[in-house]
């Protein structure tokens, strides 16, 4: 081999090493996130139920037509460009995320900076799970991190090893973040999102795990619109019985959804056969929010255990890995009977 070839090979090796080092270097992950008021539609396919391709039954219409119906004023987290110069449109890989806020990503050793703006009519915040923060950046009442309507605040969180994957975890894990002023009312309004922390050495430049081809997020929650910040604001949209103390009215406001959609109205869970697919499962709600997500046509690994059903409780999370091996459109739902009836179901597609 000539000295010229040896020299070129050495230069290439050095450049690759420098690129790899720059990717792995600890960074400050900066986000611009606002709490915005939106009109949310739990079942945009109405009057057709996509799961059965038939019209909604009388039992199903309790949740999508009676009372306030299927459209509610809610608050959600949305990601903006720097300086809040217009919010970022989601790409096709995030089409499934629905009501969830933007994914906040970091690797172990990074810092996270979140510039937050409250565009709602209520005091709100961002309270993170898992990461390291001081009281000033906790996002709870009686601290600087609770933001008045129209106000702004900058949160700073550290990502030590104890915030990342443990010995039995895969290369990334998920936490939640949510508003924590009137926590039940805030989260029923829709203010929740995911934080993904990747193990050091497994992160890409964007802090996604390098050993995964595709990631999906699923929030299993019965949004109780009776307990939302926006109940009074939504009452003028009600038809029929509109008494907040009426049991039938209360029942119609319990929206059993995955990422804020009911009866297979979620779209975007699309993958290819043989891909390395990571599922991040989140729970939220009350004592009725004991959920058992079930994937048809596939199995997954959770901490080394083989499953096709897992369980999640309010504010708990799970990270599971799948290698889909059969093409088709497959049902994906909570296996609690009442939740199936009320619409906590969608589908995923293997191409």
Of 296, 336, 331, 348, residue with least CA distance to 52:
331
Residue in 8, 238, 242, 334 annotated catalytic: 334
CA-to-CA distance for 25 and 109, rounded, in angstroms? Answer: 9
Whether omega for the bond prior to residue 280 falls within 30 degrees of 0, making it cis, is no
- Cβ distance 37 to 73 under 8 Å? yes
Q: Count Cβ neighbours within 10 Å for each residue of 137-174 and write b for 16 or more, e otherwise.
A: bbbeeebebbbeeeeebebebebeeebbbeeeebbbbb
Six-digit token pair at 277? 């697919």
Cβ burial of 24 (10 Å; 0-12, 13-18, 19+) is middle
CA-to-CA distance for 337 and 322, rounded, in angstroms? Answer: 25
Cβ burial of 310 (10 Å; 0-12, 13-18, 19+) is middle
Of 194, 248, 186, residue with least CA distance to 220:
194
CA-to-CA distance for 145 and 231, rounded, in angstroms? Answer: 25
CA-to-CA distance for 83 and 147, rounded, in angstroms? Answer: 17
334 as an active site residue: the answer is yes
In sequence order, what DSSP letters do the residues of 2-54 get, joined into one string? -HHHHHHHHHHHHHHHHHHHHHHS--EEEEEEEEEEEEEES-TTTTEETTTTE
Of 194, 214, 216, 25, residue with least CA distance to 107:
25
3-state secondary structure string across 311-339: CECCCCEEEEEECCCCCEEEEEEECCHHH
Q: Cite the active site residues.
A: 334
């Amino acid at each position: 081999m000539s000295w010229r070839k040896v020299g070129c090979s050495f230069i290439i090796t050095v450049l690759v090493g420098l690129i790899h080092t720059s990717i792995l270097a600890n960074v400050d992950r900066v986000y611009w996130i606002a709490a915005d008021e939106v009109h949310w539609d739990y079942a945009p396919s109405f009057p057709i139920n996509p799961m059965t391709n038939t019209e909604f039954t009388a039992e199903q219409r309790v949740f999508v037509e009676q009372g306030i119906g299927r459209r509610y004023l809610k608050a959600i987290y949305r990601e903006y460009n720097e300086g809040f110069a217009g919010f970022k449109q989601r790409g096709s890989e995030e089409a499934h995320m629905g009501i969830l806020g933007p994914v906040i990503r970091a690797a172990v050793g990074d810092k996270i900076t979140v510039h937050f703006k409250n565009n709602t009519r209520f005091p709100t915040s961002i309270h993170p799970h898992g990461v390291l923060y001081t009281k000033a950046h906790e996002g709870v009442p009686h601290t600087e991190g609770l933001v008045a309507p129209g106000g702004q605040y900058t949160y700073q969180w550290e990502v030590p090893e104890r915030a990342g994957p443990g010995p039995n975890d895969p290369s990334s894990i998920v936490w939640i973040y949510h508003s924590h002023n009137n926590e039940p009312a805030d989260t029923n309004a829709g203010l929740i999102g995911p934080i993904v922390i990747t193990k050091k050495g497994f992160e890409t430049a964007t802090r996604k795990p390098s050993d995964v081809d595709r990631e999906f997020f699923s929030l299993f929650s019965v949004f109780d619109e009776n307990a939302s910040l926006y109940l009074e604001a939504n009452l003028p949209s009600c038809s029929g019985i509109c008494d907040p103390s009426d049991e039938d009215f209360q029942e119609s406001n319990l929206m059993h959804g995955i990422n804020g959609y009911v009866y297979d109205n979620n779209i975007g869970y699309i993958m290819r056969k043989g891909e390395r697919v990571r599922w991040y499962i989140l729970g939220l709600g009350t004592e009725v929010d004991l959920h058992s997500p079930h994937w048809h046509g596939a199995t997954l690994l959770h901490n080394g255990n083989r499953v096709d059903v897992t369980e999640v409780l309010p504010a708990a999370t799970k990270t599971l890995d799948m290698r889909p091996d059969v093409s088709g459109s497959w049902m994906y739902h909570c296996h609690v009977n009442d939740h199936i009836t009320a619409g906590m179901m969608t589908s995923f597609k293997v191409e």
